[in-house]
Chains A and B, each alone.
Chain A
Amino acid sequence: MLSDRQSENISAPRKRIRELGIRLGTMEPGLHNAITDVEGVRVGHATIIKGEGQGATRTGLTVILPHAGDIYQENLFASYFNLNGWGEMTGIAPLVTTGKLQTPIFLTGTYNVGIVYDAATEYFLKNHPNLAGSDEIVHPVVAECFDDFLSDTQSRQISEEDVFRALEKAQSGPVEEGVVGGGTGMTSFGFKGGIGTSSRKVGTKYTVGVLVMANTGSREEFRIDGVPVGKEIRGFEYKSGKTKSIILVAATDAPLLPFQLKKIAKRVALGLAQTGAISHTGSGDLIMAFSTANKIPKSRSHPYLKIKCVSDFWITPIYQAAVEATHEAVVNAITTARTIIGRDGNTAYGLPLGQVKDIMRKYLRIRAGNHE
């Protein structure tokens, strides 16, 4: 039985943290406050919601196309940081060795990885008959979180068509968040989790955008802007079992080399920490960072390519942007996620936004008279 308050919450409209009048950090977000504010980055979702009760499926796929062109033809510098390795992100060994991202990034449920990997390979082969020579092995980047609480994961209800659909629907502009794509069955900090995104402008030159698939953290850990929201919230308890993993992807148009992108990925971990996450032993907390500034053509006619690279001496504001955008992306993943009833009637509640506002007001994060 749901209490009145809980019933009300189920139908309440979902909002982003900024729409509640709460500003995280000090830097300004980009136009859409999304990873797509980094020019060329596109995001697509395939959401799979099927059945009720036993065998119900709440899963999906979110794909990030890293630039406006063809990532297979023009690679980007990228790196990765493994905050806690109890998770899967395929394609990482070649990515680290070659310093380059060569495929879209796919985010999905744990047991979907093989199917998505296969579909990504198929998509590549279909669209690039000439790149499929022996020298052109492509290793798709497919990352996962375990959506077992809400979804019958063992039935693996995702298909090649779903993957192609997400790729075809990928677009720039505002990004749908919460219960969508790979985030459909995710839970986080004792509430419904999912996909979240945010961005920051670094002066007038650069943008950093972050997109997360959040399925990690315990309720009592959850903090927004330092406020222990998870401890303060009342009601909406459920036995979620364990929450598992978070995948975080940072994009920037600042020209950075792979070793610098690794440092960005580490700052993303710091942004995650600002949400109170402590990276549980069973949480696969994997972080990828890429830069769209230097495009490295797959086939090159000249032995040299001129590239640019921000001096480490001046890089700190980009770090700050990564931390702030990550904090907000994770919070957005939770504030935008609505209540979902999934497998075997398991229910994950959307974070009660009315309570959040009250708590943030109590801690002086919303000034009196500062309405949404």
Chain B
Amino acid sequence: MNKLLKNTKDRKIKKEKYRPGEKNSLTDVKGVKVGQFSLQKDIQDKSGRQAFVRTGLTAVLPYPMDREMRLFLGCSRVNGKDEITGYEVLDDFCYLNSPIVITNSFNVGRVYNAILSYGFSLGRVEIWPPFVIGIDDSYLNDLRMGFLEEQDILKAFHEATETKVEEGSVGIGLGLRAYSWKGGVGTSSRVISFGFGRFTIGALAASNHGHELSLTEEKSASRENQTRSGSLTVILGVDLPLVPYQIRQITSSLVACLPLMGMASSRSDSINCVLFTTANAMSMEEDGPEVFDYQLLDDSLLEEIILAGSEAVREAIFRSLAKATPVGGRLGRMLETIPEKELHNLFQDFKGRVAE
């Protein structure tokens, strides 16, 4: 490593400033629930070929889904290769009206449809647009066979809880791969104390990125690692009253923070960073009021939210790897849990709180 690189590495942010919330989970943000469904089966397809299904979904329910309500939402993307439904409304109206679901690309339509079924069954007039992020888990998962059934998707919604999010090879995390090791789902949160109150920012990460950056020579040499592009998806929730331009400032800063926090990604990775706020919520009962009253947080406080958010994001990604259990899948492939030493190397000696 040349000197410049070394210095850069040394300068990466290691120290933490903020404390995690009670559960160190996205669900520390009041009212936020997470539900997951994992689909794992070994079956034969029509031609008698063995198929390995390793997929699922991870659903974030940011508010009670039986209420006609909208939350402000923003998103920053790099290399937008993944499907995000509801993106046009997000881009133009900046609101969220549905659960946020991460699933694999081939299940997007089914999940989209199930969100509508779910909303209608709760008596919602408008649970639109469904917000579904589709990512590629085909390294381990046989996409052609791994379709989710509506009852499985609904089960994840119905069983969503405010307890600590289950992490690792679960939900959409089951088939994921990151840094050539087993990827998965991870979560973390941080408490931000201002003079006027305590607030929580929570993150949930689905790590499926960094394929080019295997840390062992043997792995990085494989062609698979060179050609496959990955993605990192991060969903954040916060209970501070933000408005859309502020949310976008935070998400774009968080994306820019990733390398500073030691989370190198491949050149071709897609990054999806989504943030919603549970404050400044819009009640749309009977089409809502003509004028909403919001609170506008002083822009000078955004810095703190970005810093706390970046800590939560780093730890969520860290945990998604640390908690991932080994999974074997398609083509006899096997992904092991990242060795502890390599994990800490990757995160610049950041230790995380995996034991907690």
Contact = CB atoms under 8 A, between A and B. Distances in A.
Are A and B part of the same complex? yes
Nearest to B244: A259
A255 B243 contact: no
B259 interface: no
Contact of A306 (B94, B289, B295): B295
B288 A296 contact: no
Given A258-B244, A259-B244, A259-B245, A312 B295 contact: no
Contacts of B288: 311, 313
A294 B288 CA distance: 20
Nearest to B284: A313
B290 interface: yes
| Residue picked from A255, A304, A305, most chain B C-beta under 10 Å | A304
Contacts of A97: 245, 249
Given A259-B93, A303-B297, A308 B245 contact: no
Given A296-B296, A308-B292, A257 B284 contact: no
A303 B298 contact: yes
B295 A307 contact: yes
Contact of B296 (A307, A312, A313): A307
Given A255-B291, A310-B290, A311-B288, A303 B301 contact: yes
A239 interface: no
Interface residues on B, range: 20 to 34
B65 interface: no
Contacts of A132: none
Nearest to A307: B296
B92 interface: yes
Main secondary structure of the interface of B (DSSP, over half): mixed
A142 to B, nearest CB: 22
A82 to B, nearest CB: 15
A66 B288 CA distance: 30
B296 A305 contact: yes
B248 to A, nearest CB: 8
Contacts of A312: 93, 95
B120 interface: no
Interface in A285-327: 294, 296, 300, 302-314
B298 A98 contact: no
A91 to B, nearest CB: 15
A304 to B, nearest CB: 5
Interface in B285-316: 287-299, 301
Interface in A338-361: none
Interface in B240-255: 241, 243-246, 249
Interface of B: 92-95, 194-196, 241, 243-246, 249, 282, 284, 287-299, 301
7 contacts: A296-B296, A305-B295, A307-B296, A310-B290, A310-B291, A311-B289, A313-B284
